[in-house]
Amino acid sequence: MNENIQTSEVKLFSLDKGQKIFLFIIAVILWVLTLLSYLNPGFEYFMLQSFQSLANNPTMANLWYLYTKYALYVVSLPILALYFISYKVNFLKPYRLVIFLVLLISAVGSILVDPFLKDLVARPRPWIVYPEIGSLYHPSGLSFPSEHTFEVFALTLPFIICFLTDDGYFIRSKKKIFLALILLIFALTLSFSRLIVGVHYFSDILFSIGFSLFLLVILVSLLQWLLKSGKLNSQNEKWYGLLLVIILITYMLLVH
């Protein structure tokens, strides 16, 4: 079905078993690299110093500070608005369940990252362990894993996969491939900006990327089952979506 055709049926991009296994393998590789990095403090310190060299003058330092602190909100708030707009704008309707997936990953994963995983590992921020590290600002909370990294990949991964999908419902095009590349660059640069400003370790970043991939596979599988069984449809999806929005807003108010 062409995505320009109006439909009351909610659909998600196709992601078969082989593709899920591939994404899961990438997640496992990232977690292995996370462990190796975490167990090697000298390497973690070297990576901190190396990335911080990208902000070695006031202009670059200010740019990275503004980017790492505000870029996530510049993207996430419009995506939240797009979910509600998609009920009225025909062009956006085929992407409504993709945005729903973004909300689902963010709602489930954010709670698992902070406070659960952060409190479980209880890793201090880099400037506490290494006072000589010139962190550009001092956010509250613990270091592992990187919540910013998880959130930006939770926001972008569903769109990246959707834009690269060619399953008859979603049609891949050069424009969409370009958009997917832009989103990937945005996610990677924002993630590693956390190293540049000195508020996270390399292993914090790697784990969070792997965690976002892992949750994506799990939650896509859940949505596929709900759609196939009829438990998720065009009549009840908006109420589930509203619940996810409420959870996310409550989380931001209480945790942040």
Which position has the token pair 């707009």?
A: 85
C-beta of residue 52 within 8 angstroms of C-beta of residue 198: yes
Q: Is 138 a catalytic residue?
A: no
**CA distances in angstroms from 221 to 3, 52, 119, 133, listed in the order given:** 22, 39, 28, 42
Q: Which residue of the set 148, 192, 199, 206 is catalytic?
A: 148
| 13 and 167 Cβ atoms separated by less than 8 Å | yes
The active-site residue out of 143, 200, 208, 209 is: 200
Handedness of CA 175, 177, 180, 184 (dihedral sign): negative
DSSP assignment of 123-189, as one string? PPPHHHH-TTS--S---SS--SS-HHHHHHHHHHHHHHHHHH--SSSS---HHHHHHHHHHHHHHHH
Cα torsion through 50, 52, 53, 55, rounded to 10: 160
Under DSSP, the state recorded for 94 is G
Contacts of 133 (CB under 8 A, 6+ apart): 48, 52, 126, 127, 198
Q: Which residues contact 138 (CB under 8 A, 6 or more apart)?
A: 125, 127, 199
- Active-site annotation holds for 200: yes
Residues that are catalytic: 148, 200
